[in-house]
Every structure is written in C-alpha cells, then in structure tokens.
Amino acid sequence: MPSYSQSVSYTAVPITKSDSTTYSPPLRWLDVTTGGDVTFIDGNGASVTLSSVPSGYAIKCIIKKVMSTGTTASGMIGYP
C-alpha cells in the first residue's frame, strides 16, 4: 500500500477533467462547486463514480485522476 502525506495542503489546484492527466502528488481532497457525477481513479487504481454529487461537496479520498468520461460536475478544486 502506498504511503501518502498526512499534512495540510497549502496548494489549491483548479481541476480540468481529463482521461489522461495523472496528478503527482495525488489529490487528497476535491471540492465540487457545481454538482453532478464525478468519476475518478482512486489511490489503489480503481475507477469510482459518485452520482449526483451536490454543489459544495468535498470528496475526501486519494485521487490520481479526475476522468472526463463520466464526469458531469464542474468547477472542481483539488488539494494535493
């Protein structure tokens, strides 16, 4: 199992949905400002889809990719 930093992130990264962009370091938190579905690749490499994520929701998970395919939410901000 990979080891990830537990410290506070001081960097906010605007997210552009992409089936090919891998975040390094991975994101530890993803804020969704405009709700919809969010498909991402988690820290173990599994594809996860969260349906009908509401605006203002925070996804607290290790995220390697935010997929364009299957993601309808927008205005996302990630924190590595």
Q: What pLDDT is attached to residue 65?
A: 98
Task: List the structure tokens of 77.
Answer: 């901000």
Q: What pLDDT is attached to residue 44?
A: 96
pLDDT tens track, the chain, 80 positions: 555 556 666 789 999 999 999 999 999 999 999 999 999 999 999 999 999 999 999 999 999 999 999 999 999 999 99
Sorted by sequence, the CB contacts under 8 Å of residue 66 that are 6+ apart come out as: 15, 17, 18, 21, 27, 30, 38, 39, 40, 76, 78
Task: List the structure tokens of 23.
Answer: 């975040």
Q: What pLDDT is attached to residue 34?
A: 97
**pTM strictly above 0.85:** yes
Q: What pLDDT is attached to residue 11?
A: 87
